[in-house]
Amino acid sequence: MKKKNSLIIFLTILIITNCLTFYVSRHSMFIGTAGKFDKIIQLENFIKEHYLFDVNEKDFETWELKGAVASTGDPYSAYLTKEEMKEMTEETTGKFFGIGVYIAPGDDGLITVVSPIKDSPADKAGIKAGDKILQIDGKDFTAEEINDASKAIRGKSGSNVKLLLLKKGQKNSEELIVKRDEVKIASIIEKEIGDLGYIGITLFDEDTDADFVKALNNLIDKGKKGIIIDLRGNPGGIVDTAVGVADAVLPEGTIVTLKDNQGRIVQEYKSDADYSDVPLVVLQNGGSASASEILAGAIRDYNRAKIVGQKSFGKGIVQTLFPLPKGTGLKLTTAEYLTPKGKNIHKIGIEPDIDVKEPDDIEGIGVDFLETDTQLQKAIELLNK
């Protein structure tokens, strides 16, 4: 009797195993020797046949393309839908609707604030560089979903967005409601501080270099004996305009070199012999990234000015935006950049010559907050010497 039961159990296991083998062999043909594209098609068909819910064909195609780019593991590269491509283009023109905050994927897998745009809703609400965005309107977002997060933050002017933030240096998260508005980005802020000039560069859009030269010449014509260039909170932007600013204040020579994945020089930007030699001091902080680091790195290597503030963000790679059919696009990391002395600052940043930390309770930075802006005070002190 015992042997008979054992035999029944054995036959039952054998039948179940054979059924499973048949099922797997029938429905998992994409596993094995099939070509890469055959596997994708077979996997797609398998999902459509067995997935519990309906599959949106358009979404299926979009996420297949996003997945292909995401497989690089590079958080700065992405396949862009038509809507995302439009938003990306808007950022280079200096006008869009939202709360005015630049974000980047953090190494900890969280969405990190690079910087709020000066005088934007985010800036007025107290969002700072280094803050982490955990949720948007009650939905969790990670660094891998940064494009969706950016889309969720934007919206109609006057509407509210609820953010769950982990403030820099804090252990407990806090909820913040910010009202969306039209965000106008003035990339150049020109001010006077006695016999000194001040030029704040909030980002590098398509007109920044021309506007910088105009502000620089205007301040020099007024007899200013020194200029403070403020790159704090500048998340970067268009490389060509950062190079244009550098060309205006640097002697003849290399500004930045771009190399591809084979180590080949794909672009070498140079300055000419025509430049302004007015004394300079540069301000930077942890929100100074990408193109602003190209400018600061070049100024540093030429010993053209002292850099005051704190270590910059550390983004030493360049993305190229490729238009694709039907208004879509591809943002792809295509090169690393090296300072004039051949330094790569990616994930390293640029250390200031003079480290000055702002007070934790500071309400703002710039000329309007001179009484509490210790970094700006230090810059004025250096130029007055």
Domain boundaries, the chain: 2-55, 95-183, 186-384
Same fold, 95-183 and 186-384: no
Residue-level pLDDT at 43: 86
Whether pTM > 0.75 for this model: the answer is no
Residue-level pLDDT at 342: 96
How many Å apart are CA 251 and CA 264, to the nearest integer?
A: 25
Residue-level pLDDT at 219: 98
Residue-level pLDDT at 94: 58
Residue-level pLDDT at 44: 85
Backbone angles phi, psi at 158, to 5 degrees: 95, -15
Beta-sheet pairing, 253-259 with 329-338 = antiparallel
- Tell me the residue type at 204: F
Residue-level pLDDT at 5: 46
User: Which position among 119, 123, 301, 373 bears the catalytic label?
Assistant: 301
Residue-level pLDDT at 55: 84
Residue-level pLDDT at 359: 86
- Does CATH number 3.40.50.300 belong to domain 186-384? no
Residue-level pLDDT at 324: 93
Q: Residues 6 or more apart from 342 whose CB is under 8 A from it?
A: 257
User: Which position among 315, 331, 373, 378 bears the catalytic label?
Assistant: 315
- Tell me the residue type at 197: G
How many Å apart are CA 88 and CA 116, to the nearest integer?
A: 17
Looking at the domain that runs over 95-183, which CATH code has it been given? 2.30.42.10
Question: Which residues of the chain have a pLDDT value below 70?
Answer: 1-34, 90-95
The verdict on whether 315 is a catalytic residue reads yes
Residue-level pLDDT at 357: 94
CB 127 within 8 A of CB 136: no
How many Å apart are CA 323 and CA 362, to the nearest integer?
A: 42
User: Which position among 115, 150, 290, 292 bears the catalytic label?
Assistant: 290
The verdict on whether 301 is a catalytic residue reads yes
Which residues are registered as beta bridge partners of 311?
A: none
